[in-house]
Structure 1
Amino acid sequence: MAYDVGLADRVRAVMRAESGLTERRMFGGLAFLLHGNMAVAASSQGGLLLRVDPAQVETLINEPHVRRFEMRDRKMTGWLHIGDEAVEEDDALRSWVDHGVTYARSLPPR
């Protein structure tokens, strides 16, 4: 499955004012990076692939339609999959993207 182009456009609109923003195809989706660090991606599985502070994962996975991201049956530390249902509303999308942006900003530029 290809990523949702409409969702990618919505993410782009939320992130357009961020300095150091680039886009790159990754994991079959479209990733949005800040100064070389991935913040969020329109996932090839639908919804978002979100990079977050690993210390926040336990709290965030309690939200509806949120699960740990797995690659080859391995749960990835600090990565979440946010289902389409959780980002239907623009305010909800903005909130999830903000989590990724905040964490990406905390990392040294690559």
Structure 2
Amino acid sequence: MPYDEGLAQRIREQLQNRADVEEKKMFGGLCFMVSNHMCCGIVGDKLMARVGPDNYKSHLAKKYAEEMNFTGKPMKGMIYVTPEGISRDSELREWIDICIGFVASLPPKN
């Protein structure tokens, strides 16, 4: 499945000041790794947001958020955000900050 290249560029711009970002093709889309942890990505035209299991329900309740059911059942700690929920750069920034905050809480990976 192709991913939204325009959204990919917008995410790159949001992460451009970080030296610990790497892009990987994953889930049939594109994944952005931060400090060697999966942080966020794109599947089709949706933002894939890693929000973590503790905040999963509260973030899933937000407008334009939906379960990430890539495998046929919900992946706890991961959600999709539809294009309507990230149409403005400030909205995209808010979601990316949530993802970075979760990744920062994880133990370092080599």
Smaller-chain TM-score bracket: over 0.9
Structure 2 residues not aligned, in runs of 5+ = none
Alpha-carbon distance in 2 for matches of 1:82, 1:64: 9
Q: Alignment partner of 2:100: what SS?
A: helix
Worse-superposed segment, 64-73 or 20-29: 64-73
User: How many residues are treated as equivalent by the alignment?
Assistant: 109
Structure 1 residues not aligned, in runs of 5+ = none
Q: TM-score if structure 1 supplies the norm length?
A: 0.92
Name the structure with the higher strand share: 1
Q: Alignment partner of 1:73: what SS?
A: coil
Deviation at residue 106 of structure 1 after TM alignment: 1.6
Alpha-carbon distance in 2 for matches of 1:77, 1:97: 18
Alpha-carbon RMSD across the aligned residues, in angstroms, is 1.1
Corresponding residue for residue 47 of structure 1: 46
Corresponding residue for residue 95 of structure 1: 94
Alpha-carbon distance in 2 for matches of 1:100, 1:47: 15
Deviation at residue 19 of structure 1 after TM alignment: 3.1
Deviation at residue 108 of structure 1 after TM alignment: 2.1
Alpha-carbon distance in 2 for matches of 1:14, 1:107: 21
Corresponding residue for residue 17 of structure 2: 17
Worse-superposed segment, 90-99 or 13-22: 13-22
Alpha-carbon distance in 2 for matches of 1:21, 1:62: 28
Q: Alignment partner of 2:108: what SS?
A: coil
Deviation at residue 53 of structure 1 after TM alignment: 2.1
Q: Alignment partner of 1:102: what SS?
A: helix
Corresponding residue for residue 37 of structure 1: 37
Q: TM-score if structure 2 supplies the norm length?
A: 0.92
Question: Identity, % of aligned pairs?
Answer: 29
Deviation at residue 71 of structure 1 after TM alignment: 2.3
Alpha-carbon distance in 1 for matches of 2:83, 2:29: 14
